[in-house]
Structure 1
């Protein structure tokens, strides 16, 4: 099952392509932030914000409390490790490393 998993936006890596780095439980991954970017506001405003990440896209912004509660729930359900493994695999592929 694929879920949205909370990650903290740590950097804007390509403003023109609307790409940012998110940190999901220590795993850093490049994601598209087009769905969460606010028109007329600089993308740098997203740095430090939490977003639900799914298949390379930040789908929605969430507050830190909700993000931490969601991560805890995923841990309890045993889904967090599978999601982190998927994030780790795609992060390796982004860097051109074989899985």
Structure 2
């Protein structure tokens, strides 16, 4: 089973080669470098679904928040 997690784009590094387009994505405050090659229309502030370092799709805020809440509900308490 694969899990793709929503995160919010906080910065974008555009490149002459669209396959090298990348950005920093926040996952609950944890920043990760993510390839944005598959979502050329994505902008700072957008939520994207990320799997193994690749943003696969842009999703709306409501869907992202709903998914994050569901993930939070299944996480064991610390």
TM-score scaled by length of structure 2: 0.83
Structure 2 spans left out of the alignment, 5+ residues: none
Structure 1 spans left out of the alignment, 5+ residues: 39-44, 80-99
Q: How far does residue 63 in structure 1 lie from its aligned partner after superposition?
A: 0.6
More strand by share: 2
More helix by share: 1
RMSD, matched Cα: 1.7
Equivalent residue, structure 2, for 1:23: 26
**Using the alignment, how far apart are the partners of 1:2 and 1:28 within structure 2?**
21
How many corresponding residue pairs?
Answer: 72
Equivalent residue, structure 2, for 1:36: 39
1:54 correspondence with 2:33? no
